[in-house]
Amino acid sequence: MTLGPLLIGIYVFVLAGFVGFEMITKVPPTLHTPLMSGANAISGITVVGAVAAATTGAPTVANILGALAIVTATINVVGGFLVTDRMLRMFGRKKPKALKAETAGVPTEGREAVSK
Amino acid sequence: MSQEVIRSTVVPVIYLLSTILFIFGIKQLAKVKTARRGNAIAAVGMLLAIIGALLELGVVDYRWIAGGMLIGTIIGAVFAIRVQMTSMPEMVALFNGFGGIASALVATSVYWDLVVQQGPAGKVYEALGTDEAITVMLSILIGGITFTGSLIALFKLQGKLKKGAPILLPARHYITFVLLFASFAFGGIAVTAGASDSVVWVLALSAVSLTLGILLTIPIGGADMPVVVSLLNSYSGLAASMAGFVIGNPLLIIAGAMVGAAGLILTQIMCVAMNRSLLNVLVGGFGVADGASGGGGSDEYTSVTSCGPEEAAMILENAESVIIIPGYGLAVAQAQHAVRELADMLKARGTKVTYGIHPVAGRMPGHMNVLLAEADVPYEELLEMDVINSEFKNTDVVIILGANDVVNPAATKDPSSPIAGMPILNAHEARSVFVVKRSLSPGYAGIKNELFEYDNTMMIFGDAKKVVQGLIGEVKDL
């Protein structure tokens, strides 16, 4: 038996899918949102393909599409990881001491929400 | 080191390390104690992956890459820092959409470069390779559906588009079916067409994919959004995986497949929590067709008791245990900080306060948990449905804030109800129930809530935040 690249790819795809299932099955509801946004950031891995699609400065269609892919995938990656961290930081601060240390960096965040 | 060695050895090793970091990251992200570290580990994995991709390229013109990354980083960071916690479902939906369209764009770019710009005169599958040609079409299809589907979900979450209500086109199932068939046909024709003929088919496929995303999402109502958002999350992973097949990169295949699986599991959890099948949610229009005739009895309320904050505060004064049930109304009113304040005051008086969280409360999986965490409510006080349901009969007061269908006893008592069989929070078993709500208007299922007529229930009409602030004022004066 010899496996072509497509079949190897499908093997990898199926096995990785099982790994994903196994890792997520018992996740507590508290983490549903951060998990989703963290996983979403990981789906920005497309950026790896996108950089290879905009390698000349020439304004060709392929390059423009590639550059747009880089922008959207990077938004997904940077925004996704940052917003997940912001949420998880809130979950972490339960003791009053930790609360002060954590909110020092983002002083106005909570107040904005109250005043609106 | 020659570029040859870098490409054949160094880069694959970097990608493998990156894969391992993603796996550890997701694994830790699934546990409360290690979640933040898990996210950071996954982010490091992503950084490694990007370094690997740049090394793989070798020396090229970096201007567009650097420019694109800079713009993306700024936009992404601004979004992530500025977004309100109440808008988190919109944020996740939007990012899902960006992930989907990025994958479709990568596939289209590869196609355009290899087939249209520098392609030989032959067929598309000869220029790209058969496998790659097929996965290009699949990337465009899935990525396109994810993009417009996410945008529609975003608009619905913002309350635009008929305030999030289902939009039901006539013969929509046939239209969807025909378009889905057309997308496969166009993709198939494009794969086998000559290089220059294929462009029009690829454009047609793109147009159909984008339309499908809209049509698949508009019939789904606002309260089903937790299912839709997690499903779109799964699609964005799948799209990344397809892009991985196109460029022959196992890292994309693996990361995409894991995200796809994670999204599917969340989708499944949401469906179980509503006692509905995924198909039933996707077909859409829940509560519209059978809302008026469904359920036993009339939709009119006959014996509803209402009270003001003063009376409620007097009952709260003597309560030893209080359970707060938050719903979407809490998010709309941004009442999370006021609720925490009220809970703190009650706890200072020796009352035990916990929160009962229904899995589909709000507009996204875990929506209520995020909101209450923002207000510094310790997550240990947020109890899942299975845990808290046995507590209600020993509880003095339940305060329901902007939740409706998830506490409707008809789900367990009336087999003819449209929501029969849906797991609910047994709030009605508590000694006193306060329902804070703007009016008696029905919830998402479009049916009346018999809990409102129970003898132990009292309605407090008004905006959740204002009512809770009123309660705080009254409790203070006790």
Closest CA to B50 of B229, B289, B188, B255: B255
Q: What is the pLDDT of residue B341?
A: 93
Name the 3-class secondary structure at B193: coil
Instruction: Work out the average pLDDT over B307-335.
Output: 89
% of chain B beyond a pLDDT of 70: 95
- Residue A67: its chain B contacts at CB < 8 A? 64-65, 67-68
At residue B167, the pLDDT reads 77
CB-CB neighbors (< 8 A) of A90 in chain B: 85, 370, 373-374, 376
The answer on pLDDT for B387 being more than 80 is yes
Q: Of the candidates B54, B91, B96, which has its C-beta nearest A83's C-beta?
A: B91
Secondary structure class of B401 (helix, strand, coil): strand
B34-43 mean pLDDT: 95
Question: DSSP 3-state assignment of B356?
Answer: strand
Tell whether the model's pLDDT for residue A101 goes beyond 80: no
Q: Which of B60, B239, B265 sits opposite A55 (nearest CB)?
A: B60
Residue B286: pLDDT band (50, 70, 90) is low
Higher pLDDT, A87 or A4: A87
Q: How confident is the model at residue B294 (pLDDT cuts 50, 70, 90)?
A: very low
- Comparison of pLDDT for B211 and A110, the residue scoring more: B211
Report pLDDT for B285.
62
Q: CB-based contacts of B411: which residues, under 8 Å, 6+ apart?
A: B275, B405, B417, B419, B420, B421, B422, B423, B424
Contact criterion met (CB < 8 Å) for A45 and B252: yes
H-state helical runs in B363-463: 367-374, 385-388, 410-413
Phi/psi of residue B349, each to 5°?
-90, 5
pLDDT at residue B119, as a whole number: 67
User: What integer pLDDT is reported at residue B240 of this predicted model?
Assistant: 96
B208-260 pLDDT, tens digit per residue, is: 999 999 998 888 877 788 888 899 999 999 999 999 999 999 999 999 999 99
A100 CA to chain B: closest CA distance, Å? 12
Helix (H) or strand (E) run with residue B437 in it: strand B432-437
Task: Give the predicted TM-score (pTM) of the model.
Answer: 0.85
Range scoring the smallest mean pLDDT among A29-38, A86-95, B171-180: A86-95
Q: Is the pLDDT of residue B287 over 90?
A: no
- Chain B hits for A26, Cβ within 8 Å: 30
The residue extents of the domains of chain B are 1-82, 85-283, 309-477
Q: Do B102 and A36 touch (CB under 8 A)?
A: no
What's residue A96's pLDDT? Answer: 46
For residue B309, give the nearest of B434, B412, B419, B394 by alpha carbon.
Answer: B434
Mean pLDDT of B386-403: 91
List, in sequence order, every residue forming a beta bridge with B306; answer none if it has no partner.
B459
> What are the two backbone dihedrals, phi and then psi, of residue B212, each rounded to the nearest 5 degrees?
-60, -40
The pLDDT, as a whole number, for residue B292 is: 37
Residue with the larger pLDDT of the pair B415 and B112: B112
pLDDT score at B297:
46
Rounded average pLDDT over B63-92: 91
CB-CB neighbors (< 8 A) of B116 in chain A: 61-62
Q: How far apart are the C-alpha atoms of B357 and B368, rounded to whole Å?
A: 7
Predicted pLDDT at B3: 83
Within 10 angstroms of residue B49's Cβ, the number of other Cβ atoms is: 27
Segment A72-92 shows an average pLDDT of: 92
- Chain A's closest residue to B379, CA to CA, is A91
Which is higher by pLDDT, B222 or A36?
A36
Q: Do B110 and A53 touch (CB under 8 A)?
A: yes
> Mind listing the pLDDT tens digit for each residue in A10-21?
999 999 999 998
Are A24 and B262 an interchain contact pair (Cβ–Cβ within 8 Å)? yes
Query: Within 10 Å of residue B132's Cβ, how many Cβ atoms?
Result: 22
Per-residue pLDDT, A64:
93
Give the number of A-B residue pairs with CB atoms closer than 8 Å: 399
Report the C-alpha gap between B67 and B28 in whole angstroms: 33
Q: What is the pLDDT of residues B128-137, one digit of tens each?
A: 888 899 999 9
What secondary structure letter does DSSP report for B10? I
Residue-level pLDDT at B163: 66
Judged by average pLDDT, the poorest of A67-71, B40-44, B88-92, B444-448 is B444-448
Tell me what the pLDDT averaged over chain A comes to.
80
A55, B338 in Cβ contact below 8 A? no
Q: Sign of torsion, CA B173 B178 B179 B184? A: positive
Please give the single-letter amino acid code of residue A89: R
| Structure confidence at residue B310 as a pLDDT band (50, 70, 90) | confident
B376 is catalytic: no
pLDDT given at position B291: 38
pLDDT at B303: 80
A112 pLDDT exceeds 50? no
- The per-residue pLDDT for range B346-363, each reduced to its tens digit, is 999 889 999 999 988 888
**According to the CATH classification, is domain B309-477 in 3.40.50.2300?**
no
**Separation CA B166–CA B219 (nearest Å):** 4
| Per-residue confidence band for B290, with pLDDT thresholds at 50, 70 and 90 | very low
The 8-class DSSP code of residue B415 comes to: T
Annotated catalytic residue within B113, B197, B405, B463: B405
Q: Which stretches of B261-346 are assigned E, i.e. beta strand? A: 321-326
Backbone region of residue B334 per phi and psi (left: phi > 0; alpha: psi in -120 to 50; beta: other values) = left
Q: What is the pLDDT of residue B299?
A: 65
